[in-house]
Structure 1
Amino acid sequence: MKKKNNHTIHLLIMALVNTFSFAATIPEPPPPLKRAVPPGLPIDEHLLVFIILTILLSFYFFRKSIKKAPKV
């Protein structure tokens, strides 16, 4: 009887060691990503506004450079 108990205890210890060693090898989840844009605003709207502002500013500076150009 004592041999059977020792064998059972030995198997229990082996099972616990294997469980803990398996749990130690599981990788941690990756850290949450830091987004440049808040989650409520889609990036497409920002891109559209950026393109429109770029076009408007380029027209503004283009007209300014035409006014400064010497007339021939």
Structure 2
Amino acid sequence: MSLKKGDLVVMHTCMEAEDPDNAGKLWVCRTDEANVKWTTPNVVWLEGYAGAFSVEYLQKVDISSLKGVADDAR
């Protein structure tokens, strides 16, 4: 998986994902995925989150497949 600026993601299987403020929250990638030397190999920066975040703990969300789901649930 290669994350790009503007992709929507959710956090999983990490302590940050357990925080009630983050659980199930959709995040927007501020940057493309990058390989940096000073932390885990592949990271992105998220809008509203301080610092880089490892892509290992992010799942990309495809909301295009949800179009119409809310209407069907009514």
Higher-strand-fraction structure: 2
> TM-score category by the smaller chain?
under 0.3
Q: TM-score, normalised by structure 1?
A: 0.20
Bigger Cα Rg: 1
Larger RCO (alpha carbons 8 Å, 6+ apart)? 2
Higher-helix-fraction structure: 1
